[in-house]
């Protein structure tokens, strides 16, 4: 059986805040995207990326409750150059977002940082260091 990864979804409490955060990271979210919708999605490199309000998830699964800590799925955004990781962190910090891990040169050969989205989901930012890839 061959399956293809097709969809990654974020459950959010505030659609406008979530879309603004991911737009700042460079996802092609149109400015006119409706923050009042319960569901919004885009396609990035063939992968559907979506955001669902907590209220919608509660309708789909009456037993669902918002998590109280980070989940078990990792999400990372790749920058083309290490300096762009630092620039992205500076841009996010200046907009009021929480920086969980400041940029550092990781032993596995990446410039690496972790930021939190508006719902506290950790989002990693990285770029390959020279020759590490």
- For the chain, the domains span 1-66, 73-133
CATH class, 1-66 region: alpha beta
Residue 77, classed as helix, strand or coil, is strand
The pLDDT value given to residue 74:
87
How many distinct helices (H) and strands (E) make up the chain? 3, 7
Q: Do you know the residue count of the chain?
A: 133
Per-10-residue mean pLDDT of the chain, 133 residues long, equals: 89 94 96 87 95 92 86 89 97 97 96 96 94 68
Q: Roughly how many angstroms between the first and final C-alpha of the chain, as a whole number?
A: 30
The pLDDT value given to residue 68:
81
Domain 1-66 identical in fold to domain 73-133? yes
CATH for the 73-133 domain, from 3.40.50.720, 3.10.180.10, 3.10.105.10, 3.40.50.280: 3.10.180.10
Residue 125 structure tokens:
């930012």
Task: Write down the H helix ranges in the chain.
Answer: 15-24, 54-60, 82-94
Nearest C-alpha neighbor of 80 from the set 115, 133, 127, 27: 127
pTM attached to this predicted model: 0.88
DSSP assigned state of 14: -
The pLDDT value given to residue 131:
66
From the number of C-beta atoms within 10 Å of its C-beta (0-12, 13-18, 19+), residue 113 rates as: buried
């Amino acid at each position: 059986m061959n399956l293809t990864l097709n969809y990654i979804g974020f459950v959010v409490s505030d659609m406008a805040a979530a879309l603004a955060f991911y737009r700042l990271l460079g996802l092609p979210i149109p400015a006119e995207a409706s923050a009042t919708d319960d569901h919004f999605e885009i396609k990035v490199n063939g992968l559907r990326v979506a955001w669902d309000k907590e209220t919608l998830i509660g309708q789909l699964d009456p037993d669902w409750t918002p998590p109280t800590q980070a989940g078990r799925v990792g999400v990372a955004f790749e920058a083309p150059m290490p300096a762009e990781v630092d620039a992205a962190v500076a841009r996010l910090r200046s907009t009021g977002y929480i920086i969980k891990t400041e940029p550092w040169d990781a032993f596995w050969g990446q410039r690496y940082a972790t930021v939190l989205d508006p719902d506290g989901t950790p989002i990693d930012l990285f770029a390959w260091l020279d020759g590490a890839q």
